[in-house]
Structure 1
Amino acid sequence: MLGMLGILRKTYTVELCPEVHGRISKDGTPIENLLIERSLTYADEEYSDNCLTNADGEFHFDKKSIKSRLPGNIFHEPVVRQVIEFTLSNHKEETYIWATNQHDISCPEICKLHLRNLVSDISNEEQVYELANVEAPAYPLIIRALCALK
């Protein structure tokens, strides 16, 4: 019985979001001082932060991970919601630079690749992409994004 209790107490590192680098422009012109918000959710854990774009329209978020016992529960399905967005002063709704759900406690490599270089132009329309998830093929990544993904 003590062995089972040890398993229940084990904590796992849940990667909510890797490091993010992005750039926002309008018709190719960088947008300075735009508030970019990041919201990350895992089970009942929520984390949010924000930053302002610099003179070149660039923004950055550090990697974010948490410790959790939930992945050790056989009834728990790990899902991490990642949202990076902004709201323009003349719009009522937020615009998603990036929004997806990852179905694992580790961020898929394809997400890490795109999150290193999120280049968005607000003149474009948001798109919905379905990307292959090599690490978990049963869970393709559905991403709503303003940036162009390949």
Structure 2
Amino acid sequence: MLGMLKKYTVELCPEVNGRISSNGTPIENLLIERSLTYAGEEYSDDCLTNANGEFRFEKKSIKSRLPGNICHEPIVRQVIEFTLTNHKEETYIWATNQHDISCPEVCKLHLSNLVSDISNEEQVYELANIEAPAYPLIVRALCVLN
């Protein structure tokens, strides 16, 4: 019973550092949007790329009692995207679902250095999740992830 009263820290997203270019040329003033969803609540923010095509988002965490409920399945949806003026659809720089209230190390590693080129094709990756092997991260990304 006491577990349901406790507030847990839910890591929605670690700090994000990225760079976006077109055929190697940095894209300046591109609006990058981040959308994070947990338990039906959406948290969003955005930023513009600088002259070097770089962008950054602060780490985002919330407090919640939901992880104390044994019926609750903690899933965090992370999306970082942009829309080019001549396109109607968003392009995912990064999109995944994390199945825990803590961000996996592999996620932190990749989000600390997202390097994307809009001339690349979007790819789907399956990243090993050392902390929870039963839940690999399936990531749609414009960047090349190793």
Q: Does TM-score exceed 0.5, indicating one fold?
A: yes
Which runs of 4 or more aligned residues in structure 1 lie more than 2 Å from their structure 2 counterparts after TM superposition?
none
Q: TM-score, normalised by structure 2?
A: 0.99
Larger Rg: 1
SS of the residue 2:139 aligns to: strand
How far apart, CA to CA, are the structure 1 residues paired with 2:10 and 2:142? Answer: 26
Alignment deviations for residues 77-110 of structure 1 (CA, whole Å, 9 cap, x no partner): 0000000000000001000000000000000000
SS of the residue 2:34 aligns to: strand
Pairing partner for 2:142 from 140, 143, 146: 146
Partner of 2:133: 137
Aligned 8 A contact 2:3 2:69 in 1: no
SS of the residue 2:95 aligns to: strand
How far apart, CA to CA, are the structure 2 residues paired with 1:81 and 1:44? Answer: 10
Unpaired runs of 5+ in structure 2?
none
Q: Aligned-pair distance for 1:45?
A: 1.8
1:36 alignment partner AA: I
Q: Aligned-pair distance for 1:143?
A: 0.1
How far apart, CA to CA, are the structure 1 residues paired with 2:134 and 2:22? Answer: 37
How far apart, CA to CA, are the structure 2 residues paired with 1:142 and 1:7? Answer: 30
How far apart, CA to CA, are the structure 1 residues paired with 2:87 and 2:141? Answer: 17
Q: TM-score, normalised by structure 1?
A: 0.96
Q: Aligned-pair distance for 1:46?
A: 1.1
1:43 to 2:18 alignment:
no
Identity %: 85
Cα-Cα RMSD: 0.5
1:28 to 2:24 alignment:
yes
Q: Aligned-pair distance for 1:8?
A: 1.7
Q: Aligned-pair distance for 1:111?
A: 0.4
